[in-house]
Structure 1
Amino acid sequence: MPSTELPQQLAARRIDRPVPLRERVYQAMQELIISRQLAPGQHLVESELAEMLGVSRQPIREALQLLNSEGWVDLRPGYGAFVHAPTDTEVDQLLVVRAALEAESARLAALGADEEGVAKLRKLCAQGEAAVEADDIDGMVAANADLHRCVTELSGNQVLLDFVSQVDRRVRWYYQPIARHRGSKSWQEHAKLIDAIEKGDADGAAKIMREHTERTRQSYLEQRANDPEPEEVPVQVRSRRRRTAPRG
């Protein structure tokens, strides 16, 4: 009977699959949207994006299609592409789901976190506090996302981590405009959460996380009420004149 095992020289050979250019452009544009360097409602011009990212217009066009399919960009026939401006309803719904997922993450983390895990949380909390002191918005957002992800990792539940990861980028997007407003209060809440996790207080950790995410949700809605983001951006579209043959 012939062997079903591959020869060693073939088994060791791996096909290197570089990330397609459109995927890298997609990731770059997504980060620009999350960081609000491309603002909600902003008109996205292919030629300008291509020049900014140093690529041709084709991967920009493909990336815009991907971003549109995932709700980051709106494609409007006759007008072009625009950064999606999230409605209050969609933000509210996502943050409610996030609160439920992360409260369970905190509960499980309190039951299973070891000294190393708690130390990592404390380090991330210190980074966030330092970012607040420096008024570093990007640092606050990054540290906040890393700390919340760490809590979910410490839960030990891979399915829960997968679900939280799906909403993580949206949460960063929504958190960006309120990071300064939440400021030190957010990190005081994080410190209390870490204390509960270290003590193994599962119910207390879940309660603190639920209240923490609810305050973030309320802060975002208050910010939107005071400074609403545009949902539609009027664009002047030039009509194309038909060329007619010169009369002789």
Structure 2
Amino acid sequence: MLPTGLPQGAVPRLERPGPLRDRVYEALLELIATRALQPGRHLVESELAGRLGVSRQPVREALQRLNTEGWVDLRPAQGAFVHEPTEQEADQLLTVRTLLEAEAARLAAADADRDGAAVLEELCAEGEQAVAADDVEAAVRLNARFHAKIMELAGNAVLADLAAQVDRRARWYYTPVARQRGRQSWAEHRELTAAIAARDEQRAAALMREHTEHTRRSYHAHARAQSSPRPAPDGKRR
């Protein structure tokens, strides 16, 4: 039987103000994007409503919106389930992310300043500490902040809007491989920071392409490993 509802301890605060349906939507989206609600999990309206402290109506509306956006699958006579992404979906989104992030790194390097580079260095130090402490949640959060800061330094509002559309889904794909990427990811961040601080546009773009490609390949390797038959205790493959 598939697990249902919210995992223990994963009860987000519903930020105010704003329409209740929007706050419920944001809370559920964050739980899905961070994989507190795993792909395939059965989402029961009554359980979600009880854990969030709301009625079922805003939960139902949020699930319908999440279904439209591809985060949730509504199955006739079965209910709502967290979407299980295909490798093709992940590949398409992470490929687009590579294009956006590489251009952001180039633009950030073109107009870099000491303050911006210093913030990136601080984030690298915090990320390395999170990896050393095996704090995957913190590492994922700091990774998102690092990339968001580069997008901010790029200074292109249109590029930032496009990146925002793929950011949460990129984090969804990054979370399962965050521990695997670990120190190497932050070493790559350090190289990126140095290139941006040196105003080396071409190197910054090339390093970002390589960095995001590493994540894309890691995700595919993880997905394939998860789908491969595992040996049973008797040595036979299941």
TM-score range, shorter-chain basis? 0.7 to 0.9
Q: How does 1:225-240 map to 2 (within 5 A)?
A: 225-228=224-227
**Match for residue 182 of structure 1?**
181
Superposed displacement of residue 109, structure 1: 0.6
Match of 1:108 in 2: 107
> Where do residues 3-152 of structure 1 align in structure 2 (5 Å cutoff)?
18-152=17-151
Q: Which letter maps to 1:171?
A: A
* Distance across 1 between alignment mates of 2:86 and 2:167: 18
Alignment of 1:197-212 (within 5 A): 197-212=196-211
Instruction: Please report the RMSD computed on the Cα atoms of aligned residues, expressed in angstroms.
Output: 1.2
Q: CA deviation at 1:228?
A: 3.3
Identical amino acids, percent of aligned pairs: 61
Max Rg structure? 1
Letter in 1 for 2:46: S
Distance (whole Å) between structure 2 residues aligned to residue 130 and residue 18 of structure 1: 34
CA distance in 1: counterparts of 2:126 and 2:18, whole angstroms = 32
Structure 2 Cα separation of the partners of residues 163 and 221 of structure 1: 24
Post-superposition, which runs of at least 4 consecutive aligned residues in structure 1 deviate over 2 A? none
CA distance in 2, matches of 1:228, 1:207: 32
Structure 1 distance, partners of 2:203, 2:32, is: 35
SS of match in other structure, 1:182: helix
**1-structure distance, mates of 2:162, 2:127:** 24
Aligned mates of 2:75, 2:140 — CA distance in 1: 31
State yes or no: 1:160 paired with 2:152: no
Shift of 1:18: 3.7
Question: Per-residue CA shift, 1:90-110, capped at 9, x if unaligned?
Answer: 100000000011101111111
CA shift digits 1:29-80 (9 cap, x unpaired): 1111112121101111111111111111111101101111111101111111
Matches within 5 A, 1:212-227: 212-227=211-226
Q: Could you say which structure has the greater relative contact order, defined with CA pairs below 8 angstroms and 6 or more residues apart?
A: 1
Which whole-Å deviations, capped at 9, do the CAs of 1:125-176 have from their partners, x for residues lacking one?
A: 1111111011111101110011001111111111111111111100111111
- SS of residue in 2 equivalent to 1:82: strand
Q: Which amino acid aligns with 1:201?
A: D
Gaps of 5+ in 2: 1-15, 229-238
Q: What TM-score results when the alignment is normalised by the length of structure 1? A: 0.84
Q: Distance in 2 between matches of 1:127 and 1:228?
A: 33
Residues in 1 aligned to 2:118 and 2:174: alpha-carbon distance in whole angstroms? 25
User: How many equivalent residue pairs?
Assistant: 213
TM-score by length of 2: 0.87
- Given residue 101 of structure 2, which amino acid in structure 1 is its aligned partner? E
CA distance in 1, matches of 2:155, 2:30: 28
Aligned mates of 1:228, 1:220 — CA distance in 2:
12
Q: Which amino acid aligns with 1:225?
A: R
Where structure 1 has 5 or more consecutive residues not aligned to the other structure, the ranges are 1-16, 230-248
